[in-house]
Amino acid sequence: MPERQSSRKDAVRNREAVLAAADALFARRESPEDVTMADVAAAAGVGKGTLFRAFGDRAGLLRALYEARLEPIWQAVETGPPPLGPAAPPHDRVPALLDAVLCFKLDNRRLALALEEGGSGSPYRAEHYKRWHSLLRAVLEQIPGLTDSDFTAHALLAATRADLVEHLAGEERVPRKRMRAQLANFVTGVLTSGPLQGLTAEE
Amino acid sequence: MPERQSSRKDAVRNREAVLAAADALFARRESPEDVTMADVAAAAGVGKGTLFRAFGDRAGLLRALYEARLEPIWQAVETGPPPLGPAAPPHDRVPALLDAVLCFKLDNRRLALALEEGGSGSPYRAEHYKRWHSLLRAVLEQIPGLTDSDFTAHALLAATRADLVEHLAGEERVPRKRMRAQLANFVTGVLTSGPLQGLTAEE
DNA sequence: TAGAATCCGGACCCTGGGTCCGATTCAACG
DNA sequence: CGTTGAATCGGACCCAGGGTCCGGATTCTA
């Protein structure tokens, strides 16, 4: 309910200011949980009341940031060219989708982390997760010989969880390239499993 | 550092009382985050000071509970009979290990949830995670034709994350049996992927 | 049983998300 | 422009909950 656009220009100006400030803070600070709402408000030159009226709560702010960043990727996925776009054959599109998710999380580590683990309930209730999941599920369903596409979609997405990505990139210093390769390898492994692929590959 | 055993009997009695009370509370309450430390202390008939001295902090308490529950499973894994024990061939052991993890999380949903998502840092720094991961990694390494066993171990374990399990079991009402089957299917899929399996299966 | 070491427990502190309401700014209208 | 009512601002305030402190009770040792 606090998602309404306001007609007043100070309101929209402040909204932008908050978004920008939060963005900067999450980029700068080490851990997402030591970016407090008070920090954001102060950095934006705005009172806490304004902040909370504009975004409802912390999760709302995170969501707004996240979705703004995600927007271009959704464009590419829904109306873009292959391999991300809908015209791509499932075998190519699934790895492309997961690679996109991975890259997104690599580019927005702190933010994704804050949104996925911040106490605001399980990430599986989030709208954007459902979106990815149902898309992935639908694409998987078009691959013959694959069962349980619902679970498979969950399991594949789980391999790109923000805290795992953060751990690999931050703690274990796995370079971006290698990580993408590993994920791609894993994904194609899942897609080309079972007796069907074995047979078709042989003939 | 507050993990030392005490020689005084009131200390150990209280420690047990706290453990039992916490166990009961986590089993009863809906969500793990509305079991507060004060609740636990009260339920155990103990002051908060006692509670914190015995376990250091909330994460310490969770860890103690978790590891107590995990103990028998580790027994089975390290010295038990196949398919969980070390004598099992890798192809059987990997699914068995993941199935054990899944069942454990199904049986201890609230607790696992509290430990994995509770703000106490990423779950990937936890000792028990490293233990599972390095074991799984080692077993995967014995499977010919599989590369990136480090990442693969992470990815497979990610499919058993507590909040995913909770979501599937709680929200989507997936029955235990079905979930185990889906995971098993997914795991064997990962194991039997690639050209090698196709070839050996054909000959 | 005295003395010291340890432990108990609940009052207390502090951080951080979220609310409230008087003051202020805005947009529409005369 | 000046007025006016409504929407917004912003920082003081509230509250929950994790974590600390220390006077007093309990337990071990000699």
User: What nucleotides of chain D have any atom within 7 angstroms of a protein Cβ?
Assistant: 7-13, 16-22, 26-29
Looking at the fold, whether B94 and B189 belong to one and the same domain comes out as yes
Confidence at A29, pLDDT banded by 50, 70, 90: confident
pLDDT for residue B123: 92
- B30: Cβ–Cβ under 8 A, 6 or more apart, which residues? none
Looking at the fold, whether B91 and B75 belong to one and the same domain comes out as yes
Residue B201 predicted with pLDDT over 70: no
Query: B153-156: long-range contacts at Cβ-Cβ below 8 A with a sequence spacing of 24 or more?
Result: B154/A159, B154/A164, B154/A168, B155/A158, B155/A159, B155/A183, B155/A186, B155/B190, B156/B94, B156/B98, B156/B187, B156/B190
The predicted-structure confidence for B119-131, as pLDDT tens digits, reads as follows 777 899 999 999 9
Q: In this structure, what is the dihedral angle of CA atoms B34, B36, B39, B44, given to the nearest 10 degrees?
A: 120
Cβ of residue B42 lies below 7 Å from strand D: no
The type of residue at A33 is E
Helix-strand-coil split of chain B, %, nearest 5: 75, 0, 25
Residue A199 counted as domain residue = no
Looking at the fold, whether B112 and B183 belong to one and the same domain comes out as yes
Query: How many Cβ atoms sit within 10 Å of the Cβ of residue A192?
Result: 23
Of the two residues B203 and B146, the one the predictor is more confident about is B146
The predicted-structure confidence for B12-54, as pLDDT tens digits, reads as follows 999 999 999 999 999 988 888 889 999 999 999 898 999 999 9
Q: How far is B5 from chain A (nearest CA, A)?
A: 32
Cβ of residue A160 lies below 7 Å from strand D: no
Looking at the fold, whether A45 and A69 belong to one and the same domain comes out as no
Least confident of A6-20, A33-47, B57-71, B164-178: A6-20
Task: Mark out the alpha helices in chain A (DSSP H runs).
Answer: 9-28, 37-44, 48-55, 58-79, 90-107, 109-117, 127-141, 149-158, 162-166, 176-191, 194-202
8 Å CB contact between B157 and B134: no
**B161 interaction partners in chain A (CB closer than 8 Å):** 158, 161
pLDDT for residue A199: 44
In angstroms, rounded to a whole number, what is the distance separating the alpha carbons of residues A55 and A16? 11
pLDDT for residue A2: 43
The type of residue at A180 is R
pLDDT for residue B203: 38
Residue A40 counted as domain residue = yes
Query: How many Cβ atoms sit within 10 Å of the Cβ of residue A17?
Result: 19
Expressed as residue numbers, the domain containing B35 is 1-56
Confidence at B199, pLDDT banded by 50, 70, 90: very low
Confidence at A5, pLDDT banded by 50, 70, 90: low
B163 touches chain A (CB under 8 A): yes
User: Which of B11, B28, B56 finishes a domain?
Assistant: B56
Residue A195 predicted with pLDDT over 80: no
> Could you tell me the distance in Å between the CA of residue A62 and the C1' of nucleotide C29?
40
In angstroms, rounded to a whole number, what is the distance separating the alpha carbons of residues A106 and A182? 14
Range list of β-strands (E), chain B: none
The predicted-structure confidence for A154-191, as pLDDT tens digits, reads as follows 999 999 999 999 999 999 999 999 999 999 999 999 99
| Percentage of the residues of chain B whose pLDDT score is greater than 90 | 78
| Percentage of the residues of chain A whose pLDDT score is greater than 70 | 92
Of the two residues A92 and B118, the one the predictor is more confident about is A92
- Indicate which of B140, B150, B161, B172 best probes the interface with A, i.e. most A CBs within 10 Å of its own CB: B161
Torsion-angle region of B175 (φ positive above 0: left; ψ -120 to 50: alpha; else: beta): beta
Cβ–Cβ below 8 Å for B198 and A193: no
- Closest-approach residue (CA) in chain A for B163: A122
Residue B200 counted as domain residue = no
Residue B132 counted as domain residue = yes
8 Å CB contact between B44 and B17: yes
A154 touches chain B (CB under 8 A): yes
Residue A23 predicted with pLDDT over 80: yes
Confidence at B4, pLDDT banded by 50, 70, 90: low
- Closest-approach residue (CA) in chain B for A31: B121
Cβ–Cβ below 8 Å for A166 and B122: yes
Looking at the fold, whether B100 and B38 belong to one and the same domain comes out as no
Looking at the fold, whether A45 and A71 belong to one and the same domain comes out as no
Cβ–Cβ below 8 Å for B163 and A193: no
Interval A135-151 mean pLDDT: 96
Residue B89 counted as domain residue = yes
8 Å CB contact between B87 and B133: no
The predicted-structure confidence for A42-85, as pLDDT tens digits, reads as follows 999 898 999 999 999 999 999 999 999 999 999 999 999 999 99
Looking at the fold, whether A2 and A84 belong to one and the same domain comes out as no
Cβ–Cβ below 8 Å for A189 and B193: yes
Looking at the fold, whether B162 and B68 belong to one and the same domain comes out as yes
Cβ–Cβ below 8 Å for B201 and A198: yes
> Could you tell me the distance in Å between the CA of residue A12 and the C1' of nucleotide D22?
52
Q: How far is CA B121 from CA A31, A37, A157, B22, B132, in A?
A: 10, 20, 21, 21, 18
Residue B197 predicted with pLDDT over 70: no
Q: In this structure, what is the dihedral angle of CA atoms A5, A7, A10, A14, given to the nearest 10 degrees?
A: 10
- Closest-approach residue (CA) in chain B for A181: B148
Residue B202 counted as domain residue = no
**B168 interaction partners in chain A (CB closer than 8 Å):** 151, 154
In angstroms, rounded to a whole number, what is the distance separating the alpha carbons of residues B59 and B123? 11
> Could you tell me the distance in Å between the CA of residue A37 and the C1' of nucleotide C23?
23
pLDDT for residue A120: 72
Q: In this structure, what is the dihedral angle of CA atoms A138, A140, A144, A146, given to the nearest 10 degrees?
A: -120
Residue A135 counted as domain residue = yes
The predicted-structure confidence for B85-138, as pLDDT tens digits, reads as follows 999 999 999 999 999 999 999 999 999 999 988 777 789 999 999 999 999 999
The CATH number that applies at residue A107 is 1.10.357
Is residue B36 classed as helix, strand or coil in its secondary structure?
A: coil
B151 touches chain A (CB under 8 A): yes
Give me the number of domains chain B comprises. 2
pLDDT for residue B192: 87
Residue nearest to nucleotide D7 (CA to C1'): A8
Average model confidence (pLDDT) across chain A = 90
